Structure 1
């Protein structure tokens, strides 16, 4: 559920064994993109292993040790959404057609290339990448809604007690929103109780919400509290709790039913995150569904 920061330049990787061409590609795109460089296919694989996914790869075809099409084909399994462009200065139609048909190459450009044409192609490729990522995120959100609804229905019908329903719900939220930890803790008389469900993907199951200023604000105001980059929140960054836990992003939303706060839902990340407005709404809507499920369980 964590999305790309659209305010940052997309990363592209340019690969060419000729230093002059590599520098020219870098200069062509550095204003619009964060440009990574590699002088061979092997070096490019190392760059990807270090830097992670890029939006677009522009690779020369004829390089020593590894052809451009071979290099690009090796990037497909790990980075299926990356858009790949091949630069070729000779006629090697068989290799290019095979790569294009296999979905490994988006477009090929012949050398010497026209800078304006290449920039237009790369811009379209970046837009294609952005669209792919948005559609992937939409599918994940839809699947996330289904997962949470399924868990809530199952928990409501099968849980032997209210307490036993909390940990499965916390796990569903952790997985759906790509968090590292989720805590679902009940409230009585506007105070945290000992009834809770905790799920963590890294083995840390400690509950520190009673010492957390965001949780206190969420309970007091009845509104979601968000710190998606603790380092930019002086009051939180200096907090011993955040320093000890290593939490870099935290969201706390009240679980409210008919005006009564039943609990709080805490989503915690070990890295700063970005949530779009629709993703935040999904978390809040899911919280409302949890409130209904908890109210139903308490009436059984």
Structure 2
């Protein structure tokens, strides 16, 4: 006889592998800034194979590019430029992009400006001109590793805080005097916000019939089409998570009208169970192919167990009334 715990672990492992299959290493973005076209071309040729290289001939243009393109991993800027020095330009990028690594190219005559910039945390490293391409590549590689580590730690902290908030929200609804409808809505909002979904639906189940619902939408109204989705019926019947990480590549789902109409590209369905009874389904929806980490999947599984207990208590309270 199969072990239910082993079945859950196998299901999570399978889903985790599906999410991991989406993860592809992407070239990091780099912005190079220099008023001399030859230097810009040289920097572009040096890094184009390993980076998406954006070019700007002045600090003003560079700020416009950042406003349009968003955060980059590394900025390499010349110090001596007309209109705006490199250190002045880099200082303007700190409030919006604190994690970006900033490298400055300079002559020996700019020491005072550099000391101030480095001490204030605006510059990661300076390289004297003329630079050695090998040395510059080495510095940039270390800068990218530092940037990746910062982003990883920031994301881990965000996830940990968000997941703690989710579990607290579920527990608090058990003790609060919420109606069942308010409880569903509160928890749907929490799941939607924590996992950065475009839509989230938490809907009660009686047998195979879908009932009272709570809906979260990041962008206006969300249509509830769970009753039409074969993945939902499979999740209810099997009491295991079902996932489509990239709907467009799934022949069984790609032509289903509600996926086409809503633009949903990733869908995770979690059956909420207690003592072998399916009480509800949780639908997490993204309008892009989407990956979840292994710890996020385990958080979803753990929170689903807590949610099963909460919904059982709420149902008993409703019957008692």
TM-score normalised per structure 1: 0.92
Could you say which residue in structure 2 is the equivalent of 1:93? 111
Measured after TM superposition, the shift of residue 138 of structure 1 is 1.1
Q: Deviations over 1:122-181 (max 9, x none)?
A: 111111111111111111111012211221122111134323200000111111111122
Question: What pairs with 1:24-103 in structure 2 (closer than 5 Å)?
Answer: 24-103=42-121
Residue 282 (structure 1) aligns with: 299
Matched, 1:112 2:157: no
Alpha-carbon distance between aligned partners in 2 of 1:231 and 1:64, rounded to the nearest angstrom: 50
Relative to structure 1, the CA distance from residue 237 to residue 48 in structure 2 (aligned partners, 3 Å threshold; closer, same or farther) is farther
Contact kept in structure 2, 1:184 and 1:196, CA below 8 Å? yes
1:138 aligned to 2:143?
no
Give yes or no for contact 1:159–1:165 (8 Å, CA) kept in 2: no
Aligned counterpart for 1:22 among listed residues 18, 37, 40: 40
Residues 230, 54 of structure 1: alpha-carbon distance in 2 compared, 3 angstrom cutoff: farther
TM-score scaled to structure 2, two decimals? 0.86
Q: Distance in 1 between matches of 2:215 and 2:251?
A: 27
- How many residue pairs end up in the alignment? 298
Q: C-alpha deviations, 1:269-288, integer Å up to 9, x for none?
A: 23332222222222222222
Structure 2 gaps, min length 5: 1-18
> Does residue 122 of the first structure (1) align with residue 140 of the second (2)?
yes
Give the SS at the match of 2:308: helix
Match of 2:281 in 1: 264
In the alignment, the residues of structure 1 paired with residue 62 and residue 249 of structure 2 have an alpha-carbon distance, to the nearest angstrom, of 34
CA distance in 2, matches of 1:6, 1:103: 32
Tell whether 2:280 aligns with 1:296: no
Contact 1:15/1:44 (8 A) holds in 2: yes
Which of residues 223, 247, 258 in structure 2 aligns to 1:206?
A: 223
Name which of 178, 181, 184 aligns with 1:163.
181
Seen in structure 2, the aligned counterparts of structure 1 residues 256 and 49 have a Cα distance that, compared at 3 Å, is: same
- Greater alpha carbon shift after TM alignment, 82-91 vs 268-277: 268-277
Q: Highest CA radius of gyration, 1 or 2?
A: 2
**Distance across 2 between alignment mates of 1:218 and 1:233:** 17
Task: Label 1:226 to 1:50 Cα distance change in 2 as closer, same or farther (>3 A).
Answer: farther
Q: What are the ranges of 5 or more consecutive residues in structure 1 without an aligned counterpart?
A: none
